[in-house]
Amino acid sequence: MLTRKQHELICFIADRLAETGVSPSFEEMKEALDLKSKSGVHRLISALEEREFIRRLPNRARALEVLRVPERGGEAKKPVAAKVDKSSSTPATLPSPANDVVEIPLHGRIAAGTPIEALEGSTMLPVPAALLGAGEHYALEVAGDSMVEAGILDGDYALIRRTETARDGEIIVALIDDAEATLKYFRKEGAMIRLDPANRDYSAQRYRPDQVRVQGKLAGLLRRY
**153 shares its domain with 116:** yes
Query: What pTM was estimated for this model as a whole?
Result: 0.58
Which CATH number is 107's domain given?
2.10.109.10
Beta strands in 17-100 (DSSP E): 54-56, 64-66, 69-70, 76-77
pLDDT (tens digit, 9 = 90+) per residue, 73-103?
Answer: 544 444 444 444 444 444 444 444 445 777 8
CA 224 distance to own-chain centroid: 19
Whether 29 maps to a domain, the answer reads yes
Tell me, yes or no, whether 131 and 34 share the same domain: no
CATH of the domain at 10: 1.10.10.10
Sign of the dihedral through C-alpha 135, 138, 141, 144: negative
Supply the range of the domain harboring residue 172: 102-222
Determine whether 146 is an active site residue. Answer: yes
Work out how many domains the chain is built from and give that number. Answer: 2
10-residue block means of pLDDT along the chain (225 residues)? 84 83 81 83 83 72 75 52 43 46 82 57 76 83 90 91 92 88 93 94 94 92 82
- How many other β-carbons are positioned within 10 Å of the β-carbon of residue 164? 8
At residue 52's C-alpha, the angle toward residues 46 and 97, to 5°, is: 55
Q: Which of 44, 50, 56, 58 is nearest to 11 (CA)?
A: 44
* In a shared domain, residues 17 and 64: yes
- The confidence score (pLDDT) of residue 26 equals 80
Tell me, yes or no, whether 92 lies in a domain: no
- Quick one: 129 and 199 in the same domain? yes
In this predicted structure, what is the pLDDT of residue 47? 83
Our answer to whether residue 184 is catalytic in this structure is yes
The answer to whether residues 200 and 149 touch, using CB atoms and an 8 Å cutoff, is yes
**Do 70 and 127 sit in the same domain of this protein?**
no
Kindly state whether residue 34 falls inside one of the protein's structural domains.
yes
Q: How far apart are CA 67 and CA 63, in angstroms?
A: 13
The reply to whether 53 and 147 lie within a common domain is no
Active-site option among 146, 188, 203, 217: 146
Do 212 and 162 reside in the same domain of the chain?
A: yes
In a domain, 170, yes or no: yes
> Of 77, 112, 138, which marks where a domain is finished?
77
Pick the catalytic residue from 88, 184, 188, 217.
184
% pLDDT > 90, the chain: 28
Residue 168 is assigned to a structural domain of this protein: yes
> Are 137 and 38 found together in one domain?
no
Whether residue 83 lies inside any domain: the answer is no
Contact criterion met (CB below 8 Å) for 102 and 84 = no
Residues 214 and 112 in one domain: yes
* β-strand pairing of 101-111 with 137-143: parallel
If asked whether residues 62 and 122 sit together in one domain, one would say no
